[in-house]
Amino acid sequence: MPLFGKKDVSKKTKKDAEKSQSIEDKYDVKDLLGTGAFSEVRLAVSKERPNEMYAVKIIDKKALKGKEDSLDNEIKVLRRFSKSVKRSDHSGTDDKNEGQWLTHPNIVQLLETFEDKSKVYLIMELVTGGELFDRIVQKGSYTEKDAAHLIRQVLGAVDYMHEQGVVHRDLKPENLLYYSTDDDSKIMISDFGLSKIEDSGVMATACGTPGYVAPEVLAQKPYGKAVDVWSIGVISYILLCGYPPFYDENDANLFAQILKGEFEFDSPYWDDISDSAKNFIRQLMCVDADKRYTCREALAHPWISGNAASSKNIHGTVSAQLKKNFAKSRWKVRTRVLSVLSS
């Protein structure tokens, strides 16, 4: 059964078949850019306009077996944030009624989709600037103001998502990419595999990446948009010191820390960080989701909207800690948290 529709393919017309295009008709698929558990990402060059380059995410249907809903969900969310999405497959379905197209400059766009018997192809905006932490380590100078600028972009994009009823549910540094290698490049949010369009306003599936997941998810309570704000709080904390607010080799102990909201601003790493930054993090990492800031409230905080962020260079300490703490693969592995909780 095709991933992009539930219609009977036997009913497609000759006209439908003639209109259907393969990815090879439109793109030259070239260098490998990255790999994932069920997919690989390659460079795609437009045959019609050779100067236009994109990223193509190639998903192996066999490897994805049993997890098709996750891909369907990712595509549904990405379509919601793309100007227009064309689909070429063998299902004879039509995207005209998928809903209005919404865009944001800090959200990676899906441009076109293809499907054949063995693979699904997502043509996406090409983002070439690399991962957030890698760029910080490479910098010669890095300040609180730089961190606040990064978080302001993330908050703006997530606030926009929340307005449209979408919760990301897996915000983490690996999903924050620089658009280009330019020094003033913007940040892009990617990987919507666990994102959810809120229908009822609350969700219950326990998912995410352990170190960034909100307490209410671990407590297996219904949750909403506030889970993304918690994750942004964790990212903000790391951006200012280079290590995570919660850590334990044992997941059960790690989750116990998160459930209690037990984190510290340790000396000497936080000695030069402003009180405003610490207050900002406390507001985002409030265990009580009802009292936690919304993205809109976070955007209005003086550390983000004013001049409270310090201009002191903290690159040496932060980059050293990032290199020390984020070589550990466990912080880069997305998991269904429920499987850990129930084991």
Mapped onto helix, strand or coil, the DSSP state of residue 318 is helix
> In this predicted structure, which of 185-194, 218-227, 327-336 has the lowest mean pLDDT?
327-336
User: 249 and 193: one domain?
Assistant: yes
Q: Which residues are catalytic?
A: 170
| Gap between the Cα atoms of 100 and 184, Å rounded | 31
- At 60, is the pLDDT very low, low, confident or very high (cuts 50, 70, 90)? confident
Average of per-residue pLDDT across 10-20: 48
Range of the domain at 30: 19-124
Does residue 108 lie within any of the structural domains?
yes
Q: Which residues are annotated as a binding site for ATP?
A: 57
Co-location of 120 and 134 in the same domain: no
CATH number where 59 lies: 3.30.200.20
**Whether the predicted pLDDT of 89 surpasses 90:** no
Q: What is the pLDDT of residues 110-165, one digit of tens each?
A: 888 898 999 989 998 999 999 999 999 998 899 999 999 999 999 999 999 898 88
Query: 228 and 79, same structural domain?
Result: no
> Comparing C-alpha atoms, which of 150, 145, 162 is closest to residue 293?
162
In this predicted structure, the answer to whether residue 221 has a pLDDT above a threshold of 70 is yes
Distance CA 45, CA 31 (A): 10
Per-residue pLDDT at 199: 55
Decide which of 124, 154, 172 is a domain's last residue: 124
Which residue ranges are tagged as binding site?
57
Per-residue pLDDT reduced to its tens digit, 239-278: 999 999 999 888 889 999 999 998 999 999 999 999 999 9
User: Domain tally for the chain?
Assistant: 2
Q: What six digits make up the tokens of 210?
A: 């352990």
CATH of the domain at 156: 1.10.510.10
